[in-house]
Structure 1
């Protein structure tokens, strides 16, 4: 499996701009997080590395060597002890602020990401590049990058302040010492290139990591367990996992040498040259007797050690900030993404007509036209069945009705006005939809049907809906009834349902809603023909005087419909009632007779076995 190749544009991201964006984002959510870290790191760097390790040591050595006054030293010691107490209390307060703010920022940031994920176009989830960007955006919260960038920024500022203070003190001893600290400033340039190299490596590994996560996820999920054990698919998945792992190993190997060289150069410039040069010059000055005192030498020695530590911490923080900034680039692009399917200003009135006018549609990123010149009108109270073989374009009609996508060509009119003119949330609320790829969640049956924690009245509504969908007897037999959680993933008292029972629970959502148009996209794929017919009968009773659209390759629903559209190759091939289409003896009649003969054969076989 080849690993993902990244374009140069994906690496040319403005580091400083993204650092500012990240800090501003955190500041808007809770400024205490940044203030808390500034208090902790700023006071630690200045007090520990400068006041305590250099100035106080110099004063002590002046007293020991006789060049300082002891009474003055005692006064300075008392002031130093008082300052140490104030610094410690301030650090404790900073720690308290940071701990409280971290939880709040995490919640608010997750809320923003989830809200944006809910608002982006459905097409984005079918785009691997966008999905990878979304995954990297969530790493800001899952890996606490927002917290880390605040820490690194605070530590960076604190270390720079301490570094300036130390350098000023060392320069007071002899200005030539500053010359040996010049290489330190080149470290930052090296770390920028190193961070971008790390980012390139991580970006290149994203697709392979997604494959690894997919394989790991499917191995543990219940719905894949039977297929894994009854086919060779497990071996295929293992090979995919091994290929993804090997691809990432190659990536790590390809980038390993470069990252090692960056680290060597950084250590050479930030540690070896400054420390060796300064110590050599200090020893030379001390031996030559050029006026360098013991306390002065201690200032130089301690100062160089402080410079080394500050440089290491500063470059590490700068390195991490640069890397975090690159991930915040993904978060910024994700949060700034503007959906292509936008809401209109008009409220959604009661349905009178729904009309497809010369609608063509091609999925983004493909060349195949899924729908071509689709035309039909549906009036309030009508029941329409859309039938056809798999891949005919039936489910795409649902996506266009709900504005998951907009037509490539043509318009869909609601009461004579294009769908984009209406409020998007109200428009989707007007449809009661059961999807082909239905999903139930690890929540109680009641919550799966109603969509939230239920009041007693809503539980009664859920029971009625479950009765209509034909699964209430099964749900009522459970120890906790409709309060039973589906799946045992989070609740040992939970339960697992069969495919047909799960589909009936999903269908019950439709019966529990107030809607204007019912849309059932293959709602009976896991049901037997008798259950299908009963479900459709119940639906027609509940939706009396409402508009219903059945989408199925099974034709039992078509018999109960006012009108039938037959789709083939994305076109409406036939249109009419069941009786009209059977008399026409075209595509629909052929499909209907073929399915009917299959049911008769099944019934005959069952009778023979009996």
Structure 2
């Protein structure tokens, strides 16, 4: 599903990635791209060309008394005006572009958030996805901007080089050999350096994920108590230090190679070709052979210097070009990932009446796994039924629930609702039939109302939200919140926000199901009251069952006290259903369920459930 392609890219793919980046930038701000390209091309050409011609004119004015001084000065003055206009245009363009790029950066991150929200859940189970996402997210803004700027520089410098080359060719074509030779040597070494830098950066990003995690837990409040009351700081610090040591070793290896290549590049390209061969050769032509004048020699030296500078700039632009192409591969892979589940439109309508959910000979295997996680699962769940899914950790219960909600697609077999394969429904519409409360719920740093609605709550929702919180036994806490249901569920951004205890947070999570009563056909409860005391658990379980009285209820349970009132119980082990029946039937069967129940019996013999 999520791509796992190799990092090695062909030149064709690199150029294709650059084209993708430019099209993406054009989509975000077409006129900014056109402006940057035009400014780099025109301003670079005017500045470089007139710079060389000025020097020639000045020397001729000083050395030739017969030359028309007035005409020469007018020419120089006009040229200076053009150069100044070019500088002003470049300055204004830079300032304007900087402001516009801030907007582009925001648009890129907005696209990332939307794509990350839509990406299929299966991708989150693959390490490759996280590598792509982390690197793409951290580099996206810089990569898009550099893609535009480096392409503009390449076009601008190429135009300037061609113009200066034409000027050099009119006087002595041999001069052009030196900067061109230096350019190719510089390009080869810079490309090797860029390759080393890129390879190091990929390793660094991957290792830094572990270092960042180790560092992050020290300033997140949910970890603070355990860190202070234990020695967990020691292994976390060691993990952080090990990651830093690994990065340091990689930097040392890459740095040594880069330093050697840079030194060779400097000695050969800049010292020999730029500051030695060209001035010596021009001096020989002007002073010994006298085949060119001093003004031509000065102009040629300046022109070849400009060519060298532009070729050097072209080299760096090409290096940026290469970097953009490489990093764009991950960005492109992420953006172009074909969403198979989350955006499925479906051709069938969800039945208006509550219907049977039927699982037929279902198998599921994770990508890259060598065996099935779930095998030959079959059951039918009718409206109003209470179904318990039990089993030890790793038995496949959570994967089963994800498949029911079409967070994953089955490998073979089918899941049908109302007799129709769920893959024929629009995913969003299908999921709306579920009310879910997971054990590993999350609260978000937004208002309590939005946390309950799990959407943007409006004025019409307030009564529903407050009643849902009341059913979840949260009213007492709600009355103490400074802004009621508008209180933010964090103090990170606002001192009037709040931090909830584990039990309080779980009640908020449970209230989400109460807020969805009218839409709900199937309730899924994954140990929703594990953080509550027995009395609160009893009250909430009773409320949840009343709320879902006409709906099918599927609950995952480790505490088998909650399974006794289930209409049917399915015992999972190693991805298969090994036992099914009512509580009494399974106790008579004298199998795995009975052993688990009796093992836990002393915890709930006198349970109020």
State TM-score, norm by structure 2.
Answer: 0.91
2:214 corresponds in structure 1 to: 215
Query: Which residue in the other structure is 1:392 paired with?
Result: 395
Q: Which residue of 2 aligns with 1:12?
A: 9
Q: CA deviation at 1:282?
A: 0.8
Take 1:530 and 1:390, find their aligned partners in 2: how far apart are those partners? Answer: 26
Q: Within the alignment, does 1:360 sit opposite 2:363 as a pair?
A: yes
Q: Equivalents in 2 of 1:174, 1:586: separation in Å? A: 97
Name which of structure 1's ranges 224-233 and 571-580 shifts more when overlaid on structure 2. Answer: 571-580
Task: Give a deviation string over 1:169-213, Cα, whole Å, max 9, x none.
Answer: 223222221222331341323323322222112122232111111
The residue number in structure 2 matching 1:416 is 419
Shift of 1:231: 2.9
1:463-482 map, 5 Å: 463-482=466-485
Aligned residues of 1:388 and 1:566 also touching (Cα < 8 A):
yes
Establish whether residue 161 from structure 1 lines up as the match of residue 176 from structure 2: no
What residue in structure 2 maps to residue 338 of structure 1? 338
**Residue 93 of structure 2 aligns to a residue in which SS?**
helix
Q: Is the 8 A contact 2:183 2:311 kept in 1?
A: no
**Which residue is equivalent to 1:435?**
438
Deviations 1:530-569 (A, max 9, x none): 2222111111222221222111112343234333223233
How many Å separate the matches in 2 of 1:292 and 1:56? Answer: 17
Change (3 A) 1:586 1:404: same
Where does 1:230-269 land on structure 2 (aligned, <5 Å)?
230-269=229-268
1:426 aligns with 2:426: no
Match of 1:559 in 2: 564
Question: More deviation in 124-133 or 263-272?
Answer: 263-272
Residue pairs, 1:260-339, within 5 angstroms? 260-275=259-274, 276-339=276-339
Match of 1:3 in 2: none
Partner Cα distance (2:268, 2:32) in 1: 33
CA distance 1:330–1:68, shift in 2 (3 Å): farther
Report the 3-state secondary structure (helix = DSSP H, G, I; strand = E; otherwise coil) of the residue aligned with 2:227.
helix
Choose the corresponding residue for 2:459, options 456, 461, 467. 456
Shift of 1:579: 4.3
Q: Is the 8 A contact 1:139 1:145 kept in 2?
A: no
CA contact (8 A) 1:270 1:312 kept: no
1:608 is matched with which residue? none
Match of 2:387, SS state, is strand
Q: Output one character per residue of 1:407-446: Cα deviation in whole Å (capped at 9) or x when no partner.
A: 3332222122222222112112221212221100111111
Q: Is the 8 A contact 1:39 1:90 kept in 2?
A: no
Q: Structure 2, unaligned stretches of length 5 or more?
A: none
Give the number of equivalent residue pairs: 595
Superimposed CA distance per residue, residues 347-397 of structure 1 (whole angstroms, 9 cap, x where no aligned partner): 222431111222233333334543332221101222222223333222121
- Counterpart residue number, 2:198: 199
CA offsets 1:254-299 (integer angstroms, 9 cap, x no match) = 2222222332343345423332211110111222151422321220
Q: Give the secondary-structure state (helix, strand or coil) at the position aligned to 2:167.
A: helix
Superposition deviation, residue 401 in structure 1: 0.7
- Contact 2:402 2:408 (8 Å CA) reproduced: yes
Aligned partners of 2:525 and 2:556 also within 8 Å: yes
Q: Is the 8 A contact 2:33 2:148 kept in 1?
A: yes
The answer to whether structure 1 residue 597 and structure 2 residue 602 are counterparts is: yes
Q: CA deviation at 1:111?
A: 2.9
* Aligned equivalents of 2:118, 2:189: Cα separation in 1: 40
- Work out whether residues 201 and 255 of structure 1, in 8 Å CA contact, stay in contact via their aligned partners in 2: yes
Choose 298-307 or 86-95, whichever is displaced more. Answer: 86-95
Q: SS of 1:23's equivalent? A: helix
Corresponding residue for 1:151?
149
Of 351, 364, 368, 1:349 maps to: 351
Corresponding residue of 2:133: 134
Q: Go from structure 1 to structure 2 and tell me whether the alpha carbon gap of 1:111 and 1:465 turns closer, same or farther (over 3 Å shift).
A: same
Determine the structure 2 residue equivalent to 1:105: 104
Contact 1:194 1:262 in 2 (8 A): yes
- Post-superposition shift, 1:326? 0.4
Q: Once the 2 structures are TM-superposed, how far is the Cα of residue 594 of structure 1 from its aligned partner?
A: 4.0
Q: Is the 8 A contact 1:362 1:368 kept in 2?
A: yes
Deviation at 1:573, TM superposition (A): 3.2
Q: 1:36, 1:95 within 8 Å by CA — same for their partners in 2?
A: no
Moved more, 187-196 or 202-211: 187-196
1:17 CA displacement: 2.2
Distance 2:579 2:540 in 1: 26
Structure 1 gap ranges (5+): 1-6, 604-610
Provide the TM-score with structure 1 as the length reference.
0.91
Are 1:174 and 2:172 counterparts? yes
Alignment CA distance shift 1:236-1:510 (3 Å):
same
**Cα distance in 2 between the residues matched to 1:340 and 1:230:** 46
Segment drifting more, 237-246 vs 331-340: 331-340
Q: Aligned-pair RMSD on alpha carbons?
A: 2.5
SS across alignment from 1:412: strand
Question: 1:432-487 CA distances to partner (integer Å, 9 max, x unpaired)?
Answer: 21222110011111111113443233122111111111222112212222222112
Counterpart Cα distance in 1 of 2:506 and 2:557? 15
1:32-63 deviation line (CA, Å, top 9, x unaligned): 23223223333332222221x21122222222
Alpha-carbon deviations, 1:68-118, whole Å to 9, x = none?
A: 322212432443354346435543553465245423432332233223222
Deviates more, 1:593-602 or 1:337-346: 593-602
Is contact 1:43–1:91 with CA below 8 Å preserved after alignment?
no
Distance in 2 between the 1:70 and 1:586 partners? Answer: 111
CA distance in structure 2 between the aligned counterparts of 1:531 and 1:193, rounded to whole angstroms: 65
**In the TM superposition, what whole-angstrom CA distance separates every residue of 1:490-543 from its partner, at most 9, and x where no partner exists?**
112211111111111112111112222111112122122222221111112222
> Please, which of 52, 55, 59 is the counterpart of residue 54 of structure 1?
52
State the alpha-carbon separation in 1 of the partners of residues 541 and 483 from structure 2.
Answer: 28
Distance 1:238 1:521 in 2: 34
Go from structure 1 to structure 2 and tell me whether the alpha carbon gap of 1:16 and 1:265 turns closer, same or farther (over 3 Å shift).
farther
Aligned mate of 1:490, from 479, 490, 493: 493
Name the counterpart of 1:526.
531
Supply the distance in 2 between the matched residues of 1:176 and 1:84 (Cα, whole angstroms): 28
Partner of 1:4: none
Q: Secondary structure at the match of 2:373?
A: strand
- The Cα of 1:322 is off from its aligned counterpart by 0.9
| Partners of 1:240 and 1:252 in 2: CA distance | 18
Q: CA deviation at 1:585?
A: 5.2
* Counterpart secondary structure, 1:132: helix
Pick closer, same or farther for the CA change 1:307–1:92 going to 2, 3 Å: closer
